[in-house]
């Protein structure tokens, strides 16, 4: 009997392997997706100057833990998905009243100004980030969005554009939970 099992072993191992393969092919899985390591961590220490030519002040860690839930959005004028995300973000900020802070990532100031003039500017504060800011936040690309609670703790982190039903399914429930 044990000998039989021995001969079955390769088949069993392959069956397990095939199970993983099947799981790996499922359309819901994005092989490129990178989970966030920032959830439930306090905001990193940072201090970003304002973007020249914009009226909004810059952004620093001190602005975040003010007892209020806020959203922080990394964006750039050269980033195509940011353009797609922009109207959703604007609408969300207006509707919910949650302060939206922007971090302008590796951008030319004049390009950022023109971009915001064209599309509208929903941000209360905008920090200009030469690149290091993104690393401090564990950001891998733009756009990425964070939701922080009143103590400045990161509660939600999304990589990629916040569009479609993501807002309804993930962002709004999170905001409701944080602001009873």
Partner 1 sequence: MRALAVVLALLIGMPAVALEPDEILPDPVLEQRARELSKEIRCVVCQNESIDSSNADIAREVRLLVRERLVAGDSDQQVLDYLVARYGDFVLLRPPVKPGTYLLWFGPGIVLLFGLAAVFFFFRRQRAAATGAASLSAEEEARLARLLDDPDAAQNNQPTAPAEPKERR
Partner 2 sequence: MIAELGHFALILALLTALVQGSLPMIGAARGDAAWMALARPAAVLQLVLVALAFAALTYLYVVSDFTVINVAENSHSAKPMLYKVTGVWGNHEGSMLLWILILALFGSMVALFGANLPPSLRARVLGVQAWIGIGFLLFTLLTSNPFLRVFPAPADGRDLNPLLQDPGLAFHPPMLYAGYVGFSMAFSFAIAALIEGKLDAAWARWVRPWTLLAWVFLTGGIALGSWWAYYELGWGGWWFWDPVENVSFMPWLLGTALLHSAIVVEKRDALKVWTVLLAILTFSLSLIGTFIVRSGLLTSVHAFATDPERGLFILILLLITIGGSLLLFALRAPVLKPGGLFAPISREGGMVINNLFLAAACATVLLGTLYPLFLEAVDGSKVSVGPPFFNATFVPLMVPLIFFMALGPLMPWKRADLAGVFARLKLAALGALAAAGLTLYLREGWPVLPAAAMGLAAWLFVASLVEWGGRIKLFRAPLSDSWRRARSLPRAAHGMTLAHAGMAIAVAGMIGASVWNLEEVRNLRPGESMQVAGYDYRFDGVEQIEGPNYLADRARFTVTREGRPVAVLTPEKRLYPVQNMPTTEAAIHTTGVSDLYAVIGDSDGRGGWTVRIFHEPLVPWIWLGCLVMVLGGLVSLSDRRLRIGAPKRAKARPDAAQEPIPA
Binding site for partner 1 (CB under 8 A): 34-38, 41, 44, 106, 131-132, 134-138, 140-141
Of the two residues 33 and 165, which places its CB atom closer to partner 2 in the complex?
Answer: 33
Residue 106 or residue 153: which is nearer to partner 1 going by CB?
Answer: 106
Note whether 24 binds partner 2 by CB under 8 A: yes
Radius of gyration of the chain measured on its C-alpha atoms: 21
Stretch of residues binding partner 2 (CB under 8 A), selected from 4-12, 42-50, 63-71, 116-124: 4-12
**Residue 33 backbone class (left: φ over 0; alpha: ψ -120 to 50; beta: rest):** beta
Task: Give CA angle at 94 (174, 168), nearest 5°.
Answer: 35
Among 1, 7, 67, 180, binds partner 2 (CB under 8 A): 7
Please state the closest distance from residue 26 (CB atom) to partner 2, in A: 8
């Amino acid at each position: 009997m044990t000998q039989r099992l021995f001969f079955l072993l390769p088949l069993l191992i392959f069956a397990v392997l095939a199970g993983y393969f099947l799981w790996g092919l499922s359309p819901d899985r994005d092989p490129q997706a990178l989970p966030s390591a920032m959830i439930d961590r306090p905001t990193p220490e940072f201090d970003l100057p304002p973007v020249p030519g914009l009226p909004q002040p810059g952004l620093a860690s001190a602005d975040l833990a003010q007892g209020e839930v806020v959203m922080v959005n990394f964006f750039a004028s050269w980033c195509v998905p940011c353009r797609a995300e922009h109207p959703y973000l604007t609408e969300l900020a207006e509707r919910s009243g949650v302060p939206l802070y922007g971090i302008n990532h590796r951008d030319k100031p004049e390009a950022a100004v023109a971009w915001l003039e064209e599309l509208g500017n929903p941000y209360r504060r905008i920090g200009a980030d030469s690149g290091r800011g993104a690393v401090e936040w564990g950001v891998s690309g733009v756009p990425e969005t964070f939701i922080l609670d009143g103590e400045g703790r990161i509660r939600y982190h999304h990589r990629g554009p916040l569009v479609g039903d993501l807002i309804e399914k993930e962002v709004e429930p999170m905001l409701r939970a944080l602001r009873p």
